[in-house]
Structure 1
């Protein structure tokens, strides 16, 4: 067996390509190996497609012919040698021919798990460093993608979505036909009513007929838009499905992998289109005669009005898949600084490994390293906190209800530090942030506000019929979700402040989390439920968990974190971790 740094015999060198020993599977410097010296690989050049030792790696960066090559360090380099004759990945890498959309002269060869992005070597170097992203060389991870569960799931999702958009068209046709029929009925009523009055009403009749025709034209115009949108999306989905099937059948793992990831993005956009189409309003019309017109014909200026009743195109029922849950551990968040038992009322994931929680009883914000399952830092506040949200990659915002204040916090050198505060006009409880906008809920009285980061109020919803005791809030691009213990429901509103959905929890919902999937703790029922994006359906994912209170979900790791609020001090001091698959 060759020793690193020692000369290998000619006999060994000439035969090493055909040997199947463990040594041949090690990652070593290929240029040095050609000279008869085998040294451990320190990095990899994506242009030369060679592993390099530390010395070759350094020289490679300085040499005139190679200083512009893309180099990967030891944490990101391929874990398998690139061999021109026997390496399995070599044949596969020849299929990597898709150009990068950002850098057209570069070929996509890598995948970032954190951002779910397909990358070229320039993307990796400029935007996805190893210190912040988990990046893999595609041939290293695509081997098991053929006939995989992921492949089958994407195909099923595409087929299901195609069926739903076809149903959209059918429903739009039915609703439009009903609307147009109602217009005809209204016009018939106008004709009947018109027979009872004299010739002086001809002009008014024509006016209302023209109005009806305009509405009919608008209906048909909207129908055409719905048909065109749905047909375009259906065609796109079918093309994606056919491509996936063909690549899967032809065993082209790399292309299949990339197509699946592109299909995942397409599906997210498709989900947004569903919500937009389901909000399309079609009006049903009925003629309402002016009862006073016979007596005041000479003075009245209106023959009547077209009353409207909205007919909603039903959004396809969202099916929440069954999940398997497994207990992944428990984290004690009680520290030596605490003077009371913990009451964890809010939590947010800054990264999959960094959970930030608010401990109301101990007036503290705590940083929890999930991989070590321990508290790494604790920041004492001037008042009892309630909820917490991520503002940027290093900034957080915490509500202080009794001080009617939002405390901003930064993380620097793995330490929590206070920044500025912002005064609000009430006892603020729930808080979330999306694209430089804060959404804040208030408990007494129940209301919701959307604020700019400087405190400028954009929207206020203080209708007692909507909110009673809004505890916590979460938000995304299209929706805001509020858990209301008084209403025993989760209310969904849009960014204009309109209620667009509601889910009855049959219990008191407390903590709520949304990282691509909405989860809510139903405290008095001892369950955690998953709710569909449109709030139409829900399903229990964890049951018999004693008094779950705050919850946080990581879409990347598929892990659910939650706290409890009971008379049991040990449970209150613990964060529970479950994996949902």
Structure 2
């Protein structure tokens, strides 16, 4: 015997309820969606709908990803009719929202009460202008990013042409090197292109959503116009907030992003020792600055993000917010500091006595938020610079740069020059960067190999006076002129200036690169400057 189907309203909560049944007080799960009518339909109602609207495209559960059409008076999460406003959370709510998320809220308002007379308010009348303004900003940002994208593609073509031209001058041994260089370039372009494309799509999507919402608000009619207008206003306000967030995020990006290619001019001589045809460089830009009022002296960052800083009496341990955690007294003035291995630092302390002057090289561990002395050795002169790479210590004193073991044994003299000021080592240990200073002549940065042979010398009008140098974990070189008050970004070879990262750095005393935050930490006159890089 056949059994008739009976549609009975249920108390069950569905992700989508039939819009037509809901109008008659029935709670029936929707199995279909018509985007043109913006109606969710059960199996029974969809048959009636097809009879009236034969030209409408209706999507079933198999195409549920296409059900996400915007419905002015329906809850996005539960598809039920929006009925109240949570004043605590400033959210439009359906009955399910209230039951699940707003039971404890102190103030719930009925939408028709809130909407009464709202069409005549200043807020509602200003909504079209606010939407128009945001759409204009989004259009501008989208167009700007499209121009950046076009410029990026031109840069890609030009650099690729440079690579090809450079490639023609050398032998077939460069086939693999060429492949690596092109892959590096394409990877850089792909990453940057994706970022730009994401911004373009975000602007377009936000623009279209605002346009659609505003059109719906302006087309509202009928006895529910006031209520739906208020709903439309709240939804537009929410969308405007999202749009503002997108705008702020995009505007915070650098105005101009560049990539450059610098061919290795020594490639014919050092062909066998190279692993790349050249470097495609994304130039660093300073996108924000933070200032901490604190005597700077010498600073270095630990792997866990803590900061170790020297002062007149010893070492100070700071957390990532530059708050003091611990202190360790040392016997003299601490002028040089570097991270060695793990949670250990090495600090050069100058002992200025009545009859003798010398330096103690102290090794100190950071253990459970405390500074613990481990060992030390002595040199009979004032140490002016200290650096470390894989168990090798580089100390400068007198007129030369020396290599030591971690236990104070002199290995060799690397380089001699009476104007040596500071030194740093590349991440692979192949290059040593030494700054030379003289108040009578211009400053220079000398790049050495491990044997002390001079690979290159860099001079620039923007560098003047005693100079600081540091190297990022990916090999970027940053050099600072203490009298010119500038910070320059150089290539890995130390031969070409890529950008002026910062200026106005009054009397810089120390610099280190923070791997945790991609920032330069610069100690200046009674101030620590944190330069956020991109």
* TM norm structure 2: 0.51
Q: How has the CA–CA distance of structure 1 residues 149 and 511 changed in structure 2, closer, same or farther, with 3 Å as cutoff?
A: farther
Post-superposition Cα deviations, 1:11-66, rounded to whole Å, max 9, x if no partner, equal: 67x535449xxxxxxxxxxxxxxxxxxxxxxxxxxxxxxxxxxxxxxxxxxxxxxx
Report how far residue 472 of structure 1 moved.
4.2
Q: Is the 8 A contact 1:510 1:550 kept in 2?
A: no
Query: Which residue number corresponds to residue 484 of structure 1?
Result: 436
Q: Alignment partner of 2:298: what SS?
A: strand
Structure 1 segment 137-536 matched on structure 2, within 5 A? 162-172=160-170, 223-225=171-173, 227-234=174-181, 236-237=183-184, 278-281=266-269, 321=283, 323-332=285-294, 342=295, 344-351=296-303, 353-359=305-311, 362-371=312-321, 373-402=322-351, 403-424=358-379, 426-442=381-397, 444=398, 446-464=399-417, 468-477=419-428, 478-486=430-438, 488-505=443-460, 506-515=463-472, 516=474, 517-536=476-495
Q: Is the 8 A contact 1:430 1:471 kept in 2?
A: yes
Does residue 559 in structure 1 map to residue 514 in structure 2? Answer: no
Q: How has the CA–CA distance of structure 1 residues 482 and 356 changed in structure 2, closer, same or farther, with 3 Å as cutoff?
A: same
Q: How has the CA–CA distance of structure 1 residues 243 and 414 changed in structure 2, closer, same or farther, with 3 Å as cutoff?
A: closer
Give the count of matched residue pairs: 325
Query: Which residue number corresponds to residue 104 of structure 1?
Result: none
Q: Is the 8 A contact 1:162 1:237 kept in 2?
A: no
Q: Is the 8 A contact 1:551 1:561 kept in 2?
A: yes
Q: Alignment partner of 1:482: what SS?
A: strand
| CA distance in 1 between partners of 2:192 and 2:530 (Å) | 37
Q: Is the 8 A contact 2:365 2:374 kept in 1?
A: yes
Q: How has the CA–CA distance of structure 1 residues 434 and 282 changed in structure 2, closer, same or farther, with 3 Å as cutoff?
A: closer
Q: Alignment partner of 1:230: what SS?
A: helix
Post-superposition Cα deviations, 1:234-264, rounded to whole Å, max 9, x if no partner, equal: 564588689889999999xxxxxxxxxxxxx
Report how far residue 150 of structure 1 moved.
12
Query: Which residue number corresponds to residue 578 of structure 1?
Result: 531
Report how far residue 366 of structure 1 moved.
1.2
| CA distance in 1 between partners of 2:188 and 2:382 (Å) | 51
Report how far residue 475 of structure 1 moved.
3.4
| CA distance in 2 between partners of 1:557 and 1:148 (Å) | 29
Q: Alignment partner of 1:535: what SS?
A: coil
Q: How has the CA–CA distance of structure 1 residues 549 and 160 changed in structure 2, closer, same or farther, with 3 Å as cutoff?
A: farther
Post-superposition Cα deviations, 1:493-540, rounded to whole Å, max 9, x if no partner, equal: 122322112222541243222113322221111222222222222232
Q: How has the CA–CA distance of structure 1 residues 437 and 170 changed in structure 2, closer, same or farther, with 3 Å as cutoff?
A: same
Q: Alignment partner of 1:563: what SS?
A: strand
Q: Structure 1 unaligned runs (5+)? A: 1-9, 20-83, 89-146, 173-222, 252-270, 284-314, 333-341, 565-570
Post-superposition Cα deviations, 1:215-239, rounded to whole Å, max 9, x if no partner, equal: xxxxxxxx332x3233332564588
Report how far residue 351 of structure 1 moved.
3.7
| CA distance in 2 between partners of 1:152 and 1:168 (Å) | 24
Query: Which residue number corresponds to residue 509 of structure 2?
Result: 549
Q: Alignment partner of 2:167: what SS?
A: helix
Q: How has the CA–CA distance of structure 1 residues 433 and 11 changed in structure 2, closer, same or farther, with 3 Å as cutoff?
A: farther
| CA distance in 2 between partners of 1:242 and 1:559 (Å) | 23
Q: How has the CA–CA distance of structure 1 residues 238 and 498 changed in structure 2, closer, same or farther, with 3 Å as cutoff?
A: closer
| CA distance in 2 between partners of 1:87 and 1:350 (Å) | 48
Q: Is the 8 A contact 1:448 1:460 kept in 2?
A: yes
Q: How has the CA–CA distance of structure 1 residues 454 and 163 changed in structure 2, closer, same or farther, with 3 Å as cutoff?
A: farther
Report how far residue 169 of structure 1 moved.
2.0
| CA distance in 2 between partners of 1:427 and 1:513 (Å) | 21
Q: Alignment partner of 1:386: what SS?
A: strand
Post-superposition Cα deviations, 1:193-232, rounded to whole Å, max 9, x if no partner, equal: xxxxxxxxxxxxxxxxxxxxxxxxxxxxxx332x323333
Report how far residue 151 of structure 1 moved.
9.8
Q: Which structure has the bigger radius of gyration?
A: 2
Q: Is the 8 A contact 1:530 1:541 kept in 2?
A: yes
Post-superposition Cα deviations, 1:70-89, rounded to whole Å, max 9, x if no partner, equal: xxxxxxxxxxxxxx99899x
Report how far residue 563 of structure 1 moved.
1.4
| CA distance in 1 between partners of 2:182 and 2:405 (Å) | 40
Post-superposition Cα deviations, 1:171-209, rounded to whole Å, max 9, x if no partner, equal: 43xxxxxxxxxxxxxxxxxxxxxxxxxxxxxxxxxxxxx
Q: Is the 8 A contact 2:347 2:361 kept in 1?
A: yes
Report how far residue 578 of structure 1 moved.
2.4
| CA distance in 2 between partners of 1:423 and 1:161 (Å) | 51
* TM norm structure 1: 0.47
| CA distance in 2 between partners of 1:423 and 1:490 (Å) | 28
